Each structure stands twice: as structure tokens, then as C-alpha cells.
Amino acid sequence: MNKEITITVNGTQHTLEVEPRLLLVHLIREVLNLTGTHIGCDTTSCGACTILMDGKSIKSCTVLAVQADGKSIKTIEGVSAEGQLDSLQEGFHLNHGLHCGFCTPGMVMRATELLANNPNPTEEEIRWGISGNLCRCTGYNNIVKAIQYASAKNRGVPTASTEPEFV
């Protein structure tokens, strides 16, 4: 028994018939073909599927599409216009905050909400803030730097050097 839902994704409204058991991440990836949102686990542990639902970062692998009825969704594709980077994406690029790129969209979406709630987080607050998102490549140092860069840029204060620092 399919159910009709209406959701807004990256500013575009969609009215769709979905199976009640359809996961939101599958709606995003396979129905709407927005493949920037990834799937990295089956236990809500890794955060690769993180998106914003009404501004709140959620793991879309553990939310049903029908639960998103009437909600507004933002995915990585909706963060900036094509060919442009917002301050977080720029921070990740300049500080080498990504390697394979698989966790990156989830990290960016999570960090977006983190900075919305706490525009000037400490390193410890950033580390706890992204602790629901796993990255296997970077060791997190440069993800922290990327978020600090965006925080500074958003607040209009000078950003730290983006050159690597060696002891």
C-alpha cells in the first residue's frame, strides 16, 4: 500500500508515491537520483548518509521516506550552486579535509548544522560534534581545520594558514 508524500528537496517540491518502508536515503539516491548522499553502513553508525531535514542533521538511512512528508530536505547537492563552494566546502578543499570523498558529503552536512548552532566551536566541540560521522582516510586533523576555517570565514575573522604545518 503506497503512500503519497510531499517533500521539498534542495528547494524543489516533489509529490511522490512511496512504499511505506522506503528509506529516506533510497528515496534521495534512487528516486531523486541525488547520489551525493552515500550509504556506508546498516546500523546508523557512520554518518555517510547525513542530510539536513528542516535544518537538523539526520542520518537518512534510519528515517523512512514517509517520515519526511511535509519536510524540507537539504543534501550536499543543495549546499552551493554547481561550480561554487560554500565556506565549509572551501575549508575542506583548502585544508585537505577529504581523501576518497565518500564520507565528505555527510561530514559537510553535519558540520553545517554544527556551525549553525555554534558559530565558534572549540576543537573539542568540533571533534565531539562530528563524532557520529566516520572518516577512514583523513585521521580527522584536517576535517577539524576545515571546520575551523569555515567558522572563521563565516564570522568574518581572518582564517588560519591552509599550508600544512610540520614540526
Partner 1 sequence: MIQCKTSKAISGMGHSMKRKEDARFLQGKGHYVDDIKLPGMLYMDIVRSPYAYAKIKSINSEEAMKVPGVVAVVTGRDLEKYNLHWMPTLMSDTQMVLPTDTVMYQAQEVCAVIATSRYAARDGREAVRVEYEPMKPVIDPYKAMDANAPVLRKDKEGKKDNHIWNWKVGDKEKTEKVFENAEVVVKQHMHIPRIHVASIETCGCVADYDKVNNHLTMYMTTQAPHAIRTVIALVAGHVGLTEEKIRVVSPDIGGGFGGKVPVYPGYVIAIAVSFLVGKPVKWIEDRSENLQADSFARDYHITVEMAGTKAGKIQATRFKVLADHGYTDASANPSKFNTGLFSIATGSYDYDTSYMEADAVYTNKPPGGVAYRCSFRVTEAVHAIERITDRFAFEIGKDPAQLRMENFIKKEDFPWKSPTGWIYDSGDYHAGLKKAMDAIGYDELRKEQVEKRKKGELMGIGISTFTEIVGAGPSKDFDILGIKMFDSAEIRVHPTGKAIARFGTKSQGQGHETTYAQIIAEELGIPAENIQVEEGDTDTAPYGLGTYASRSTPTAGAAASIAARKLRDKARKIAAYLLEVSEDDLEWEPGKFSVKGAPEKSKTIQEIVFAAYTNHPQGMEAGFEATHYYDPPNLTFPSGAYICVVDIDKETGAIHVRRFVAIDDCGHIINPMIVQGQVHGGLTQGIAPAMYEELIYDEDGNILNGTFMDYLVPTAVESPHWETGHVVTPSPHHPIGAKGVGESPTVGSPPAIVNAIVDALSPYGITHMDIPVTPFKVWKALKDKGAI
Chain residues in the site for partner 1 (CB under 8 A) = 19, 21-22, 26, 29-30, 33-43, 45-46, 48, 75-77, 79-80, 82-83, 85, 89, 92-94, 96, 98-105, 108, 123, 126-128, 130-144, 163-164, 166-167
* Residue 143 CB neighbours (<10 A): 27
Question: Cα(8)–Cα(83) distance, rounded to whole angstroms?
Answer: 22
Output 68 or 107, the one with its CB closest to partner 1.
107
Output 70 or 111, the one with its CB closest to partner 1.
111
Q: How far is the CB of 33 from partner 1 (least distance, A)?
A: 8
* Euclidean distance between the first and the last CA atom of the chain, given in angstroms as a whole number: 62
Phi, psi of 130 (to 5 degrees): -105, 15
Q: How far is the CB of 58 from partner 1 (least distance, A)?
A: 17
Output 75 or 159, the one with its CB closest to partner 1.
75
Under 8 Å between Cβ of 57 and 108: no
What burial class does residue 2 get, using C-beta atoms within 10 Å of its C-beta: 0-12 exposed, 13-18 middle, 19+ buried? exposed
Q: How far is the CB of 79 from partner 1 (least distance, A)?
A: 8
Q: How far is the CB of 156 from partner 1 (least distance, A)?
A: 22
DSSP-assigned letter for residue 157: S
Output 13 or 165, the one with its CB closest to partner 1.
165
Output 68 or 79, the one with its CB closest to partner 1.
79
Q: How far is the CB of 160 from partner 1 (least distance, A)?
A: 14
